[in-house]
Amino acid sequence: MSPGSAGLRALTVVVVYPDLLGTYGDGGNGLILARRARWRGIDATLVQADSGHPLPRGDLYCLGGGEDGPQVRAAESLIAEGTLGRAVDDGAVVLAVCAGFQLVGRSFPDAGDHPHEGLGLLDVATRKGGPRRAVGELVADIDPGAPRGIDGRPLPRLTGFENHGGVTTLGPDARPLAHVVSGVGNGAGDGTEGAWSGRVVGTYLHGPVLARNVALADLLLGWALGDGADGLLTPLDDAEEDALRAERLAAVASNGAGGRSGRRSSRR
Amino acid sequence: MTVRHTDRQLSPRASTAAFAASAVNGLSRLLGRGSGTVIGGRAGLAVDPSLLAELARHRRVALVTGTNGKTTTTGMLVAALTDDGDGGGVATNQTGSNMPAGHVAALIGARHADTAVLEVDEGYLGRLIEEARPSVVVLLNLSRDQLDRIAEVRMLVDRWRLALATLGGSGADGAVPVVVANADDPMVAWAAMTAPDVRWVGAGQVWHEDAVGCPACGGRIVFDDDDDDDGGGGGWQCDRCDFARPERSAWLEERDLVLADGTRHPLAIGLPGQFNRANAVMVAVAAPAMPPRPGRPPITVDGALERLSRLGEVAGRFSTVHRHGRDVRLLLAKNPAGWTAIFDLLDESDPGSPVVLSVNARVADGYDPSWLWDVPFERLVGRTVVATGERCRDLAVRLRYAEVDHATVEDPLEALDAAAGAVGSGDGPAVAPPPVEFLGNYTAFATLRSRL
């Protein structure tokens, strides 16, 4: 993190290529991180970093979902310019969702279903799944080995909306983020959802994921702030987020496997 | 050419199918299941899969499709094509049932209409071109909408491209159908380029987020953001290949329609907002492209615009209702581009008007309301805002991060009353309080209308 003026702690949150990876509202994750920092007196700057320009240096990077063609172009551009990889080496935090999750892995399928090189920030590989996309509400319990929240307790279960056609397999250097209770998730048959390694977190969850899971947002902020984060990340009034979480979790519980759309996918 | 359509022209099987559809419709109405249009249409198509083609034969047909503005533009085109603007002699699906079953129901419901103006779901354009053999196809815009249901924008545009390429000589009387396409939307342009006869219209496109990747080469589409449009602004081109905005034959310039010959036609239309002026421009080009009724002169641009000046609402959209002595304006928008356009409209209205926002996420809305985070709610800061609808909690969280003060009231009618009470209940002078603006997505809007 960078030093702020007048003793304030400063953070830069970068939404990576919203013009390519902005199809599913995931840009909201960057806004949520920046607001939750600012509401605690942290001097947070939110940067919407469109493709075609050098990626700025930041403390937190958010990548979202997108379509096949733009996903390939985003990966090519990020690999060619190298800023994101260097930032991660220097301790930057990454939240990568859906197409973003796939492209920070080792490989992902392009529109023609040929493997395309990813950034290799997470040891995961994605291939195309069956003919049916995984579309619907997803609930997953955090992996016991995943990092704890800023309150020292395990993160609460994740809620979100998945919409993807990929099957993601975890390599030995990536840990599962969560285990699916309802929905598909990574879809590789091991029941996992998402992955993490170091300060890079990948997930299939939209919603956006941080709107429904603010404990994860605060965990990422804590990583970015480093030592002394505990004192800065004072509790916020999250009544509206809690109400949203409760409603979504209840909707899935009352619909059984449902809350899912007509193009329902079976567990692969 | 005969344009009158009678049962004698239907095949025996189609007649049976049309009868089945009518019978099911009547039954459905009796059972109180709404107008039953879609149910009847489905029944008819089950008896005769070629029923749509049979019913459309010998009529002059116009199709209207795109992500936003379909229903309104369809209503406008109906008004522009009828002598007194009242829709007489035109079959149209003005209930939002924009898939083949709805088209069948609309055509059966207006059996003797010589003209059909059909709103078409983006995913069904190919089938309607093949079966309804349109004389005119209006392509408004393409942006993200219901990602869990409709294929993503690029898949859709490829399907349009294939369908529009089949248009040569396919019109009802063998004439080449006219495509009226929004040249300011690169996705529409890419699709329409395959059609044999295109009238390119500069109708504007505020939403660029789904069109930055060049559909031709994967390069980057660069938009000229020229706000004070002098007729040349708002252009776009690819930074890698020669894909660029086509030469326009007409465009929207502030509140005028400008034709390539330099003539200006003021848009004094009855519906509010710049997006409706854009829809009007498309209609003013599309209506004259329709084959005229026998013995009648073709409709002129000015004739079409004059008829549009008398249109005050379409399917309840933009209508004003009264509730407890307060005016409530009903607005519908389904996706980020639509909501952004409505915020432009709110900027033209009284800043003191409270705003009620209602969001559902049923199948017709799309199950995932994540799109709320692509809507610039920050523009509502300072207004009285009430979040409502079945997904009011998603909306409330979005408004919190937009730092828009708001109340959350789950029931839409209670939300309207809360908004009305929040302003104008004081002891100020006895002036009429500003109207309440109600903005809902698809089923949220329909539900409220049915309860008012």
What digits encode the pLDDT tens for the residues B103-135?
Answer: 998 998 888 899 999 999 999 999 999 999 999
Nearest Cα of chain B lies from the Cα of A139 at a distance, in angstroms, of 14
Helix axes B274-289, B336-347, angle to 10 degrees: 110
Q: What is the pLDDT of residue A235?
A: 95
Structure tokens at B273: 């907002």
Range of the domain at B376: 320-451
Same domain, B329 and B297: no
Handedness of CA B71, B214, B375, B388 (dihedral sign): positive
Same domain, B143 and B182: yes
- How many structural domains does chain B have? 2
Query: Tell me: the pLDDT tens digits for A79-93?
Result: 999 999 999 999 999
Cα–Cα separations (whole angstroms), residue A185 to A24, A112, A249: 16, 22, 16
Which stretches of B284-335 are assigned E, i.e. beta strand? 320-323, 326-332
The rounded percent of chain B whose pLDDT value lies above 70 is: 85
Q: What is the pLDDT of residue B229?
A: 46
Cα–Cα dist B295/B289, whole Å: 16
Sheet (strand B355-358) strand order: B320-323, B326-332, B436-440, B355-358, B385-388, B407-408
Q: Which residues on B lie below 8 Å from A50 (Cβ)? A: 212
Interchain proximity B148–A163, CB inside 8 Å: yes
Cα–Cα dist B377/B9, whole Å: 53
Q: Which residues on B lie below 8 Å from A205 (Cβ)? A: none
State the amino acid at position B446 in one-letter form: A
Q: What is the pLDDT of residue B188?
A: 95
Whole-model pTM: value is 0.79
Interchain proximity A28–B368, CB inside 8 Å: no
Cα–Cα dist A198/A193, whole Å: 17
Does a structural domain hold residue B180? yes
**What chain A residue is nearest to B398 in terms of C-alpha separation?**
A211
The rounded percent of chain B whose pLDDT value lies above 90 is: 54
Q: Which residues on B lie below 8 Å from A208 (Cβ)? A: 370, 373
Same domain, B223 and B131: yes
Label residues B400-419 b or e (16+ Cβ within 10 Å = b).
bbbebebbbbeebeebbbbb
Among the listed ranges A123-137, B228-242, B385-399, which one has the minimum average pLDDT value? B228-242
- Judged against a pLDDT cut of 80, whether residue B7 lies above it is answered with no
SS3 label, residue B436: strand
Q: What is the pLDDT of residue B381?
A: 94
Does a structural domain hold residue B3? no
Instruction: Kindly report the CATH number that applies to the domain delimited by A2-254.
Output: 3.40.50.880
Cβ under 8 Å to B: A residues 171-200: none
Q: What is the pLDDT of residue B26?
A: 62
Q: What is the pLDDT of residue B364?
A: 86
Does a structural domain hold residue B45? no
Cα–Cα dist A37/A233, whole Å: 8
SS3 label, residue A14: strand
Interchain proximity B212–A25, CB inside 8 Å: no
Same domain, B334 and B286: no
Domain edge (last residue) among B248, B276, B308: B308
Cα–Cα dist B295/B419, whole Å: 54
Cβ pair B308, B79 in contact under 8 A? yes
Interchain proximity A208–B370, CB inside 8 Å: yes
Interchain proximity A19–B210, CB inside 8 Å: no
Structure tokens at B369: 């309301």
Same domain, B252 and B332: no
Same domain, B265 and B389: no
Q: What is the pLDDT of residue B318?
A: 84
Instruction: Tell the burial category of A234 from Cβ atoms under 10 Å away from its Cβ (0-12, 13-18, 19+).
Output: exposed
pLDDT band per the 50, 70, 90 thresholds, residue B211: low
Interchain proximity A27–B370, CB inside 8 Å: no
**What chain B residue is nearest to A71 in terms of C-alpha separation?**
B213
- Judged against a pLDDT cut of 90, whether residue B273 lies above it is answered with no
Q: What is the pLDDT of residue A167?
A: 97
What are B's interface residues with A at a Cβ cutoff of 8 A? 144, 147-149, 152-154, 209-210, 212-213, 218, 220, 239, 363, 367-368, 370-374, 393-394, 396-398, 400-401, 403, 408
Cβ pair A95, A88 in contact under 8 A? no
- Of B93-102, B107-116, B314-323, which one has max mean pLDDT? B107-116
Interchain proximity A161–B367, CB inside 8 Å: yes
Domain edge (last residue) among B288, B308, B328: B308
Q: Which of B143, B148, B339 to mutate to test the interface with A (most CBs of A within 10 A)?
A: B148
Nearest Cα of chain B lies from the Cα of A53 at a distance, in angstroms, of 12
- Judged against a pLDDT cut of 90, whether residue B96 lies above it is answered with no
Cβ pair A174, A152 in contact under 8 A? no
**Regions of chain A where pLDDT drops below 50:** 1-7, 257-268
Place of tokens 């005119």: B136
Domain edge (last residue) among B308, B329, B361: B308
Interchain proximity A23–B144, CB inside 8 Å: yes
- Judged against a pLDDT cut of 90, whether residue B245 lies above it is answered with yes
- B287: Cα within 13 Å, side-chain hemisphere: 30
Does a structural domain hold residue B13? no
State whether residue A161 sits within 8 Å of chain B by CB.
yes
State whether residue A82 sits within 8 Å of chain B by CB.
no
Cβ under 8 Å to B: A residues 51-70: 51-52, 67-70
Cα–Cα separations (whole angstroms), residue A121 to A75, A118, A206, B75: 12, 8, 20, 52
Distance of CA B81 to the CA centre of its chain: 17
CATH number where B197 lies: 3.40.1190.10
Same domain, B254 and B333: no
- Judged against a pLDDT cut of 70, whether residue B225 lies above it is answered with no
Interchain proximity B393–A28, CB inside 8 Å: no
Distance of CA A231 to the CA centre of its chain: 25
Angle at Cα B251 formed by Cα B247 and Cα B255, nearest 5°?
A: 165
Structure tokens at A182: 């309802």
Cα–Cα dist A139/A124, whole Å: 21
**Among A22, A31, A135, beta carbon nearest to B148:** A135
Same domain, B197 and B65: yes
Interchain proximity A240–B408, CB inside 8 Å: yes
Cα–Cα dist B81/B70, whole Å: 16
Higher-pLDDT residue of B3, B9 = B9
Q: Phi and psi at residue A82, in whole multiples of 5°?
A: 75, -5
pLDDT band per the 50, 70, 90 thresholds, residue B278: very high
Higher-pLDDT residue of A124, B35 = A124
Label residues A33-50 b or e (16+ Cβ within 10 Å = b).
bbbbbeebebbbbbbebb
Same domain, B98 and B130: yes
Q: Which residues on A lie below 8 Å from B239 (Cβ)? A: 52
Q: Which residues on A lie below 8 Å from B213 (Cβ)? A: 20, 69-70, 73
What residues pair up with A81 in beta bridges, in sequence order?
Answer: none
Interchain proximity B367–A26, CB inside 8 Å: no
Can you give A26-92 as a three-state secondary structure string? CHHHHHHHHHHHHCCCCEEEEEEECCCCCCCCCCEEEECCCCHHHHHHHHHHHHHHCHHHHHHHCCC
Q: Phi and psi at residue B355, in whole multiples of 5°?
A: -120, 125
State whether residue A163 sits within 8 Å of chain B by CB.
yes
State whether residue A244 sits within 8 Å of chain B by CB.
yes
Spell out the domain ranges in chain A.
2-254
Q: Which residues on A lie below 8 Å from B221 (Cβ)? A: none
Which stretches of B120-177 are assigned E, i.e. beta strand? 136-139
Query: Tell me: the pLDDT tens digits for B171-204?
Result: 556 689 999 999 999 999 999 999 999 999 999 8
Q: Which residues on A lie below 8 Å from B220 (Cβ)? A: 51-52
Cα–Cα dist A19/B210, whole Å: 8
Higher-pLDDT residue of A207, B334 = A207
pLDDT, mean of residues B377-400: 97
Q: What is the pLDDT of residue B110?
A: 87
Cβ pair B267, B258 in contact under 8 A? no
Nearest Cα of chain B lies from the Cα of A2 at a distance, in angstroms, of 24
pLDDT band per the 50, 70, 90 thresholds, residue B27: low
Same domain, B375 and B291: no
Q: What is the pLDDT of residue B426?
A: 47
Does a structural domain hold residue B36? no
Same domain, B285 and B418: no
State the amino acid at position B55 in one-letter form: L
State the amino acid at position A40 in one-letter form: R
Does a structural domain hold residue B11? no
pLDDT band per the 50, 70, 90 thresholds, residue B160: very high
**Among B144, B363, B374, beta carbon nearest to A262:** B363
Which of A67, A66, A76, A128 lies closest to B158, judged by CA? A67
Q: What is the pLDDT of residue B312?
A: 81
Interchain proximity A51–B220, CB inside 8 Å: yes
DSSP state of B380: G
Interchain proximity A25–B218, CB inside 8 Å: no
SS3 label, residue B223: strand
Q: Which residues on A lie below 8 Å from B441 (Cβ)? A: none
Same domain, B143 and B287: yes
Supply the mean pLDDT for chain B: 86
State whether residue A243 sits within 8 Å of chain B by CB.
yes
pLDDT, mean of residues B371-386: 95
State whether residue A109 sits within 8 Å of chain B by CB.
no
How many residues make up chain B in this entry?
452
Higher-pLDDT residue of B97, B234 = B97
DSSP state of B366: -
